Amino acid sequence: MILKQFDEFNGVWYDVTGVAGETLRFDNNGQIQDSPILWGDISGNIQAQNDLKNEFSNYVALNTWVDYSNTTTITGFSSVTTKKVQYIILGNVRIVHYQIIGTSNATTFTFTLPFSGSSFADQFFVGHAVNNTTTQNIVTARITASSSTVDLFLGNNVTTNAWTASGTKRAEGTLTIAI
């Protein structure tokens, strides 16, 4: 699927092209547009139109943040007091905001996402961390290629984890993930 976003007369439009070259145009609310409505050979094919509309819905969140807080799986805690994970879909990019706070019971720290990163290479990001209740530090977030798990490392060393297995553990940041 190819997705093109553009501004036409101050309105946002999306052209979604399927594998056979068929294209539909959607407005910012996910509605098929009348002009131009179709390219390719699907003008009478309702199933093909519906398939493209489903593809569009799956790949574009229409500028809406999705709250994933209640679904994400978090490891490294005996209890979690704050669990905020949200994302927005922008074509082949996912932007994720996260804030996780709780009582540590491990030297590791992970959380899951509803999508996998690109298979091309691991991706790395920097955020803010608190370790052992008061120690401020940076957190390095890593998404291994083709994985949906975010590994959070205290500091800038992604070969060893330096989290304390007690006290308050906290991390927050923003990830811009290529899929």
**Token reading at 136:** 């401020």
Query: Can you give the residue ranges of every domain in the chain?
Result: 2-59, 66-178
* Sole residue written with tokens 């553990």: 169
The residue type found at 56 is: F
Q: Name the fold adopted by 66-178.
A: Immunoglobulin-like (2.60.40)
Q: What is the pLDDT along the chain (179 residues), one digit of tens a residue?
A: 455 555 554 455 566 666 556 666 666 556 665 544 444 444 455 565 566 666 555 554 456 788 999 999 999 999 999 999 999 887 778 899 999 999 999 999 999 999 999 999 999 999 999 999 888 999 999 999 999 999 999 998 888 888 999 999 999 999 999 98
Task: Classify the C-alpha dihedral 100-105-106-110 as positive or negative.
Answer: negative
Q: Provide the whole-model pTM.
A: 0.68
In three-state form (DSSP H/G/I as H, E/B as E, the rest C), the secondary structure along the chain is CEEEEEEECCEEEEEEECCCCCEEEEECCCCECCCCCEECCCCCCHHHHHHHHHHHHHHCCCCCCEECCCCCCEECEEEEEEEEEEEEEECCEEEEEEEEEEEECCCCCEEECCCCCCCCCCEEEEEEEEECCCEEEEEEEEECCCCCEEEEEECCCCCCCCCCCCCEEEEEEEEEEEC
pLDDT at position 153, please?
96
**Token reading at 153:** 């490392």
